[in-house]
Structure 1
C-alpha cells in the first residue's frame, strides 16, 4: 500500500489526475514483448501522494458512523467513495515501483519485493486485528459493531482464521485484499508487459463472472468480504494497465464527448446519492429504478460505482494539471505526506476510528464529531511527518 519507491515518486505521473498530460512524459512501448514506459524526470509529481493521502483522510471520516465529517467526502455525493481512488492509485504505484525494480534487478527483484511487501501488509493486518480486540476489551464497547466479539469469545479459532485471511474485524478488509493483490502482482506485470489488452480483458471477465455467478473468496464466520478481491482487482489492474498501455485509451479519455458524458453522469449520480439522505429528492426517481439504485453493492464493486469513479477520473484529468498551484499549499503537502506512508497511516486510521466511535457513544454531539474528525486527521498528519523525518535521516546517513 506504500508501493512508491523514491524513483517512482520523483518521475511517476499521477495517472488518476493527469492522464491528459501523460503523452509528454511517457514513451509507450511498441514492441511485441513490451517494456514499461520510460519515465522522464520532470520533478516530483505530488498528485499521486496527495490523492492517496486525501483518500486516507476520507476513509477515516467515513468509517466513523453518523459522523458529520463524512459530508466532506465523496460518499454522500455519488456512487463511489475513497476506496475506488485508493485501489486505482495503488495499481498505478505498483506498476511504477515494481516496474523500476524490474528494470534494475530483473524478475527476481520484482518477485522478492512483492513478497516482502505482502508480508509487511500481512503483519500489519494481524497487528491491527489484535489492537482492535484490545481496544474493544478495554472499553467494553463495540464488540458487535467491530466484528470482534467472535475474537474475544473464541480467540484461538478467530486468530487461526485471521492468519489465513478469512477473519477480519470491521474496516480491516482492505488489508487482506492487498496481501493477495501484491502476491499476484509479479505475474500480473509479466502478463501486462506482453499482452496488456488481453490481460485487461481477462480482468474484466473475472469481474463480470463475480457479478454473474457470485464468485468470492472464503471468509469466516459469515462468508462476507467487504472488499471481494476477485472484483476489486479490476481497479488495480486498470491502474497498472494505464501505465503500460494507456496510449490506447488516451484520445478517448480526453475527447469532448467523454467529458460531457462524465459530467452528466456525475450530476445524475449526485441527485440520486443526495436522495438517499434527503427525503424530498426521492420523488425525482421513478419507483422501479429506486430499488435498483439504492442497493449499490460495495463488496463486489457494483458497476455503478465503477462508472462513477471513471467519470471522476475523466473530469479530474481535465481540470487538474500536473503543475496545479494547489499542490504547494500546506493542506496538499500534508496529504502528500500521508500518502507517502499509506500502510502505517491506514492502520493508524483504523485504530483512531475505533477510539472515536467509542468516545462518540458516550458523547455523540456535533461538537464532539467535529473535534474527533479534526483530531484524527491531525494525528495522521503528525505520524506521517514523523515517519518522513525518520526516513530522511536514515537516507542522509546512508
Structure 2
C-alpha cells in the first residue's frame, strides 16, 4: 500500500533455534504487542500521509529529505516485526501448513485492498474531471486522471484491468501493497529455511537482495512497456525480514553503547548533504558522486546506503525508547505528562491500525492535494490546515477501524 504497509526498535525474543516443537520457546517468541512497534509505525503513518499529498510544502521537511531512507523503510521493517508476531507464531505452534494458510489469508486481504484502493482513487479522479468543478473554479488547467499517470487505464481498459488483477499493471503510487504481497508470500519459505537454521533463512534473504541489486529480479509494471515495479520486493524483503528476524530472536538485540550511538549519529549527519537536495544540487562533487553511484541508494532495489541509513536511525530510536519502550511512557502528573499520554495513545492507535490507515491515507492524500490546488500558490496557512485536517481524519479512521474490529455487536 503504499504504499501502500512500528517500531524500528527491535524487541527480541528467545531464539527458537532449529526446532518447531518446543512450546515454551514458541511462547517466548510469540510475545505480546510491543509499544515501540505501534508507536514508531504510527509515526510512519503520519509521515506517509504528508509525503503523498501532491506538491505538499510540508513534505520538504520530513526525515526522508535529510538522508537516504524514508518512512517506507519504517513501514516495511515494522510490518516484518508485526508479521513475526502474527504469522511466525502460527508456524511454530500450529505447523507449517497452518502458517501457510494464515499468510495466504492475509495476502487475500492485502490483494483486494490494493485493487479497491486503485479503483477508488481512479474513480475519484475521473469524477473530478467529469464534474467540471475544476474547470469552473480552478486557477490553472489540470487533468486529474492524467496527473496520476493512469490515463492508460481508461484508454486501454481491457488490457489494464487484466494487468491490475494479475499485478502486471502496477502504476506508480500504487506500488507498496503489491510489494508487500510478494514479501508476505516469502514468509513460508523463510520459515521453512529457519527450521533448518535461522542463519540459513537470513542468508537466503541477503542472497536474494544481492541478486536484486543487479536488476535480474525486476518485475514488469505495465503490459505495454518495460517499466519495472518501483518497489522491487526482492530488494525490500531484506528490510522486512530484518525486522522479522529481530522479533523472532534470530538476530540478537543490539547493545546500547556510547560508541555505537556516536557511530550511528555520525553516519546520519554525514548523510544529510547527500540527501538534502538544496545541498547536493549546489555542490558539484556530491552531485557527480550521486550520479555515478545511484545503485548504492536506489529506492527500487533498496540500495545498501538506504538500508544502513535506516538501521542507524532504527538503532538510535531503539536506544532512545529505552528497555521495553520505558522512555515512551510517563510517570508524571503535570500538564505536559498528560498531554504526552494523550498524544502517545493516539499515535499507538494509528500504529495498531496501520493497514486501514494506510489505505485511507493514500486516497485522502489525493483529495487533500485537490483541496490545495484551489489555494493561491499553496501558502503556508492552507498547507498547514490541510495537513492537520488529514492527520485528524487518519486518527478518526484508526479509532473507527479499532471499533469495528472489537465487534461491539457481540457484546451487551
For normalisation by structure 1, the TM-score amounts to 0.85
Inter-partner Cα distance in structure 1 for 2:365 and 2:196:
43
SS for the counterpart of 1:227 is: coil
2:334 aligned partner: none
1:305 aligned partner: 306
Gaps (5+ residues) in structure 1? 2-13
- Structure 1 residues 77 and 83, CA, compared in 2 at 3 Å: closer, same or farther? same
Inter-partner Cα distance in structure 1 for 2:237 and 2:315:
20
1:90-129 alignment, distance < 5 Å: 90-129=79-118
2:196 aligned partner: 194
Deviation of the 1:260 alpha carbon: 2.3
1:323 aligned partner: 326
Deviation of the 1:130 alpha carbon: 0.8
Matched, 1:16 2:8: yes
Deviation of the 1:31 alpha carbon: 4.8
The RMSD of aligned alpha carbons is 2.8
Deviation of the 1:360 alpha carbon: 2.5
Deviation of the 1:135 alpha carbon: 1.2
1:372 aligned partner: 386
Report which stretch shifted further, 66-75 or 77-86.
66-75
Count how many residue pairs are aligned between Structure 1 and Structure 2: 377
Gaps (5+ residues) in structure 2? 130-142, 331-339
Matched, 1:361 2:348: no
1:291 aligned partner: 291
Inter-partner Cα distance in structure 1 for 2:151 and 2:359:
20
Deviation of the 1:42 alpha carbon: 8.5
2:253 aligned partner: 250
Aligned partners of 1:58 and 1:73 also within 8 Å: yes
- Structure 1 residues 287 and 270, CA, compared in 2 at 3 Å: closer, same or farther? closer
2:238 aligned partner: 234
Aligned partners of 1:15 and 1:242 also within 8 Å: no
SS for the counterpart of 1:172 is: coil
- Structure 1 residues 292 and 145, CA, compared in 2 at 3 Å: closer, same or farther? farther
SS for the counterpart of 1:28 is: coil
Inter-partner Cα distance in structure 2 for 1:352 and 1:287:
35
2:58 aligned partner: 69
Deviation of the 1:33 alpha carbon: 6.2
2:134 aligned partner: none
- Structure 1 residues 271 and 330, CA, compared in 2 at 3 Å: closer, same or farther? farther
Deviation of the 1:123 alpha carbon: 0.6
Inter-partner Cα distance in structure 1 for 2:239 and 2:97:
25
1:78 aligned partner: 67
- Structure 1 residues 105 and 229, CA, compared in 2 at 3 Å: closer, same or farther? same
Inter-partner Cα distance in structure 1 for 2:406 and 2:19:
40
